[in-house]
């Protein structure tokens, strides 16, 4: 078995890994690198594959271009896992496999991009098994993350399982969906795992990732205090964070009219509604300029009647929150209004600067700010230790992180009896690890 570490081995983002067994190759994830897309000030939709490769927006897939690729397997729908599909999938004459919510996002990406890839998108429910070839069988196992339908990809091969999952945690008090399917993971561990490819995004954080339910409790408290104090209340989280959106609807409990504002909110929520993951009966979703303008005029006139959920929590210029704070709409923030940020600031210089500017604008108008009502979707160190124990893999290839994060994972693996270069590896983008050497 060979593991091609194509993207996400020198950064957080742009994930892509391939596993080769007896000449058959399965690709896991085709993400893009948000930072490089933003820095190039381009619209990735309008770029050719070569242009995207040149600016480092998508992984360099040259090492697997001439291989017999039999399937592209997508673990969940975040853009650092699916964003490269429209650029890269078309080079391979094989289907894309994913769970239903992920499939909605993958198909939207393919439709939006002018250079459509012709690959068939095959929906596979968690727990079902599908033969990709006579030798390779795929199953998705349910895990908790920060988007619905997240999975670990379990590829059964004649040499044992290859387990790919590079965004996951164990949430024992989730808001929607169940806790990570620990029983199934342990069974697979007993059947024999040749290699596990885990993400390392938060392995350097001690303890365990907080539960989504604990955030819901905090959110209820904050919202209650805002309603008691009066004024307009604004809320923002990542648009794919469907659990959190459910929590804010529940916490509101019918007291104020809820408006969702922004295109990405509209898209993710529509997909979630199709799969019964959110109930939009109580909310109105607007995204076109005229619709938003009209709604914000109404909010301005009756500010205590509304809870506004808007995109743009990173302070991205041109996103809805930035527009609202900049006077684009017939609405003005007033002293005593409230802004709840149910997100973290993704720690890059661009994001930090944008968010600082947004907060400054709000503060100048006397808005009260509640940052960090949030938990991560990524396993902390002790969650990772559990995953190692569930699977008891022969080899581990840490992924989705900078060399520092890959190194932190190796430290943990050493505590569990692994040894660098023997059965746990630090790789780089574009390299290949032969596990049988």
Stretch in the footprint of Zn ion (CB under 5 A) among 75-83, 268-276, 294-302, 306-314: 75-83
Best CA proximity match to 400, nearest among 168, 235, 208: 168
> Helix or strand or coil: residue 400?
coil
Minimum separation from the CB atom of position 146 to Zn ion (A): 6
- Measure the CA dihedral 80/85/86/91, to 10°: 140
Minimum separation from the CB atom of position 269 to Zn ion (A): 18
Nearer to Zn ion, 78 or 380 (CB): 78
Q: Nearest 5 degrees, angle CA 352-CA 85-CA 74? A: 90
Nearer to Zn ion, 78 or 169 (CB): 78
Minimum separation from the CB atom of position 343 to Zn ion (A): 14
Minimum separation from the CB atom of position 168 to Zn ion (A): 9
Stretch in the footprint of Zn ion (CB under 5 A) among 76-84, 252-260, 362-370, 422-430: 76-84
Stretch in the footprint of Zn ion (CB under 5 A) among 54-62, 64-72, 74-82, 200-208: 74-82
Tokens of 15: 């994930």
Measured from the Cβ of residue 424, the count of other Cβ atoms closer than 10 Å reads: 24
Nearer to Zn ion, 29 or 337 (CB): 29
Stretch in the footprint of Zn ion (CB under 5 A) among 58-66, 72-80, 352-360, 366-374: 72-80
Q: Helices 182-191 and 381-391: crossing angle, nearest 10°?
A: 50
* Ranges of H-type helices in 192-288: 212-229, 242-252, 263-274
Minimum separation from the CB atom of position 75 to Zn ion (A): 8
Nearer to Zn ion, 56 or 377 (CB): 377
Does residue 379 contact residue 408 with C-beta atoms inside 8 Å?
no
- Contact set for Zn ion, span 156-185 (CB under 5 A): 167
Minimum separation from the CB atom of position 427 to Zn ion (A): 20
Strand duo 2-7 + 16-21: pairing: antiparallel
Which of 18, 52, 78, 161 forms a contact with Zn ion (CB under 5 A)? Answer: 78
| CA gap 261, 287 in Å, rounded | 6
29 part of the interface to Zn ion, by CB under 5 A:
no
| CA gap 391, 149 in Å, rounded | 21
Nearer to Zn ion, 12 or 397 (CB): 12
Query: How large is the greatest C-alpha to C-alpha distance in the chain, in angstroms?
Result: 71
Nearer to Zn ion, 267 or 337 (CB): 267
Minimum separation from the CB atom of position 38 to Zn ion (A): 18
| CA gap 150, 181 in Å, rounded | 11
CA dihedral over 261, 264, 266, 268, signed as positive or negative: negative
Minimum separation from the CB atom of position 81 to Zn ion (A): 6
Radius of gyration of the chain (CA): 22
Nearer to Zn ion, 71 or 77 (CB): 77
The string of DSSP letters for 375-415 reads --SS--HHHHHHHHHHH--SEE--BSB-HHHHHHHHHHHHH
Nearer to Zn ion, 82 or 308 (CB): 82
Minimum separation from the CB atom of position 255 to Zn ion (A): 32
Nearer to Zn ion, 105 or 325 (CB): 105
Minimum separation from the CB atom of position 76 to Zn ion (A): 6
Nearer to Zn ion, 78 or 361 (CB): 78
Stretch in the footprint of Zn ion (CB under 5 A) among 19-27, 77-85, 247-255, 326-334: 77-85
CA dihedral over 45, 48, 49, 53, signed as positive or negative: negative
* Number of amino acids touching Zn ion (CB under 5 A): 2
Does residue 368 contact residue 396 with C-beta atoms inside 8 Å?
no
Minimum separation from the CB atom of position 8 to Zn ion (A): 11
Nearer to Zn ion, 20 or 177 (CB): 177
| CA gap 425, 434 in Å, rounded | 11
| CA gap 18, 27 in Å, rounded | 4
Query: What backbone torsions phi and psi does residue 127 show, to the nearest 5 degrees?
Result: 90, -20
- Contact set for Zn ion, span 82-141 (CB under 5 A): none
Interacting residues with Zn ion (CB under 5 A): 78, 167
């Amino acid at each position: 078995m060979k593991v091609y570490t194509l993207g996400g081995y020198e950064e957080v983002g742009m994930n892509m890994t391939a596993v080769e067994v007896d000449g058959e190759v399965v690709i896991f994830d085709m993400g893009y690198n948000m930072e490089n897309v933003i820095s190039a000030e381009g619209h990735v939709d309008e770029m050719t594959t070569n242009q995207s490769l040149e600016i480092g927006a998508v992984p360099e897939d040259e090492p697997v271009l001439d291989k017999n690729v039999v399937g592209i397997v997508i673990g969940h729908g975040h853009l650092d896992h699916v964003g490269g599909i429209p650029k890269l999938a078309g080079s391979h004459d094989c289907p894309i496999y994913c769970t239903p919510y992920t499939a909605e996002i993958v198909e939207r990406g393919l439709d939006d991009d002018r250079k459509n890839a012709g690959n068939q998108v095959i929906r596979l429910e968690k727990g079902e098994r599908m033969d990709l070839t006579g030798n390779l069988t795929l199953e998705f196992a349910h895990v908790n993350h920060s988007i619905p339908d997240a999975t670990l990809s379990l590829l059964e091969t004649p040499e044992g399982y290859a387990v790919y999952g590079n965004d996951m945690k164990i949430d024992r008090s989730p808001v929607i969906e169940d806790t990570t399917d620990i029983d199934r993971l342990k069974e697979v561990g007993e059947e024999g795992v040749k290699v596990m490819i885990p993400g390392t995004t938060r392995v350097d954080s001690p303890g365990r990732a907080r539960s989504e339910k604990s955030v819901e409790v905090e959110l209820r408290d904050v919202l209650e205090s805002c309603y008691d104090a009066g004024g307009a209340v604004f809320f923002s989280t990542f648009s794919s964070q469907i659990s959190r959106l459910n929590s804010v609807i529940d916490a509101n409990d019918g007291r104020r009219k809820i408006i969702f504002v922004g295109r990405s909110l509209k898209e993710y929520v529509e997909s979630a509604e199709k799969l019964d993951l959110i109930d939009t009966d109580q909310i109105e979703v607007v995204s076109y300029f005229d619709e938003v303008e009209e709604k914000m005029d109404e909010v301005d006139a009756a500010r205590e009647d509304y809870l506004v959920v808007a995109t743009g929590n990173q302070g991205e210029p041109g996103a809805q929150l930035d527009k609202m704070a900049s006077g684009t709409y017939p609405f003005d923030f007033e002293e005593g209004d409230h802004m709840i940020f149910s997100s973290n600031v993704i720690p890059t210089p661009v994001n930090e600067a944008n968010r600082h500017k947004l907060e400054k604008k709000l503060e100048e108008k006397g808005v009260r700010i509640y940052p960090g009502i949030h938990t991560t979707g990524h396993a902390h160190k002790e969650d990772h230790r559990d995953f190692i124990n569930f699977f008891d893999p022969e080899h581990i290839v840490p992924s989705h992180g900078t060399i520092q994060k890959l190194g932190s994972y190796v430290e943990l693996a050493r505590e569990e009896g692994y040894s660098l270069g023997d059965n746990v590896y630090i790789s780089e983008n574009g390299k290949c690890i032969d596990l049988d050497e």
